[in-house]
């Protein structure tokens, strides 16, 4: 099979991924009500459940069955030792449950996040907001949608008066926490209207894409938390960059995503940045 990855082909791949994400969501919805089998990953606040693993296996098996030449980066596969590797091949970047802590506590803000990179470029994003039954989708050059309706970012150009979304993250080391507190203070000092931290980076990016928040930022996340959200924000008319103001790098484990370049750059200018070990072995734009 020759893989070209043109727009029509990407569209058909994304449509199938949407179907798979919805099926995965059904499993998560059912599991939300049942007892959870929890284990720890990198820290005492970095959780994984049997459902995360089962859903990731289901998504990868489904996509691999249909597209045997494609490659996969998955949160739980990575945790099991299969390190993220981005090549030129069509690569699906999967977070089976983004918001595992929410899932564990039955807090209804969890998503299935599936991004697609072709020749190392992010070209499609699918995020299913499981408990709200909202399917966010975008293909590069084709706009962004929620349940088939076009979505757009807000017009916010400055921090004053904005609604900002961030997360504490799943690490508690002192240097990271110190930067986290400094950043909260800096954001509040701009007269932003408020800060929200709901527990799913992927859904936070959808909130920005639909104009329900103006800018989001996070340090310590991974490529599977932000790959799909990047495409959705961009296609909704928004902007994404590295928190330092440089180009977005999905392997760099940090991001700013916002309504406009102006608000992103303003936020970048007041944040205390932290360096994190990158995901995988290659970098992507």
Catalytic positions: 75, 95, 97-98, 100, 225
User: Interacting stretch for ligand LIP, rule CB under 6 A, among 64-72, 80-88, 164-172, 258-266?
Assistant: 164-172
**27: phi > 0 → left, psi -120 to 50 → alpha, else beta; which?**
alpha
Residue from 170, 190, 249, 262 binding ligand LIP (CB under 6 A): 170
From the CB of 229, what's the least distance to ligand LIP, in Å? 10
Instruction: Judge whether 121 and 235 are in contact, CB under 8 Å.
Output: no
The reply on whether position 221 binds ligand LIP by CB under 6 A is yes
* Mask for 194-213, x = binds ligand LIP (CB under 6 A): -----xxx------------
**173: phi > 0 → left, psi -120 to 50 → alpha, else beta; which?**
beta
Residue from 99, 115, 238, 243 binding ligand LIP (CB under 6 A): 99
Six token digits for residue 100: 């595992």
Nearer to ligand LIP, 104 or 236 (CB): 104
The reply on whether position 78 binds ligand LIP by CB under 6 A is no
Residue from 56, 76, 78, 98 binding ligand LIP (CB under 6 A): 98
DSSP assignments along 37-65, one per residue: -EEESSSTT-EEEHHHHHHHHHHHHHHHH
C-alpha span between 284 and 109 (Å, rounded) = 28
Sign of the dihedral through C-alpha 209, 215, 216, 217: positive
The reply on whether position 100 binds ligand LIP by CB under 6 A is yes
From the CB of 76, what's the least distance to ligand LIP, in Å? 9
The reply on whether position 190 binds ligand LIP by CB under 6 A is no
- Paired residues of 98 in beta bridges: 111
**What 3-state class would DSSP assign to 96?**
strand
Q: Which residues bind ligand LIP (CB under 6 A)?
A: 75, 95, 97-100, 167, 169-170, 199-201, 220-221, 225
């Amino acid at each position: 099979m020759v893989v070209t990855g043109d727009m029509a082909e990407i569209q058909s791949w994304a449509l199938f991924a949407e179907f798979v994400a919805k099926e995965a969501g059904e499993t998560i919805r059912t599991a939300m009500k049942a007892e959870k089998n929890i284990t720890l990953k990198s820290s005492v606040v970095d959780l994984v459940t049997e459902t995360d693993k089962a859903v990731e296996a289901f998504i990868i098996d489904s996509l691999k069955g249909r597209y045997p030449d494609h490659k996969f980066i998955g949160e739980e596969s990575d945790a099991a030792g299969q390190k993220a590797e981005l090549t030129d091949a069509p690569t699906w970047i999967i977070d089976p449950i983004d918001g595992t802590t929410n899932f564990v506590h039955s807090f209804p803000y969890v998503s299935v996040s599936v991004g697609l990179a072709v020749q190392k470029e992010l070209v499609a994003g699918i995020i299913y907001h499981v408990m709200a039954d909202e399917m966010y989708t975008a293909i590069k050059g084709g706009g962004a949608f929620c349940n088939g309706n076009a979505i757009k970012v807000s017009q916010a150009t400055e921090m004053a008066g904005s609604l900002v979304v961030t997360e504490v993250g799943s690490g508690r080391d002192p240097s990271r926490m110190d930067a986290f507190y400094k950043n909260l203070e800096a954001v509040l000092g701009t007269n932003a209207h408020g800060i929200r931290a709901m527990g799913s980076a992927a859904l936070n990016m959808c909130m920005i894409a639909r104009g329900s928040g103006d800018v989001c930022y996070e340090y310590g996340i991974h490529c599977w938390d932000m790959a799909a959200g990047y495409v959705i924000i961009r296609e909704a008319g928004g902007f994404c960059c590295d928190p330092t103001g440089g180009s977005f790098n999905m392997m760099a484990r940090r991001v700013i995503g916002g309504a406009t370049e102006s608000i992103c750059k303003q936020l970048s200018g007041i944040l205390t940045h932290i360096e994190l070990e990158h995901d995988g072995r290659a970098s992507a734009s």
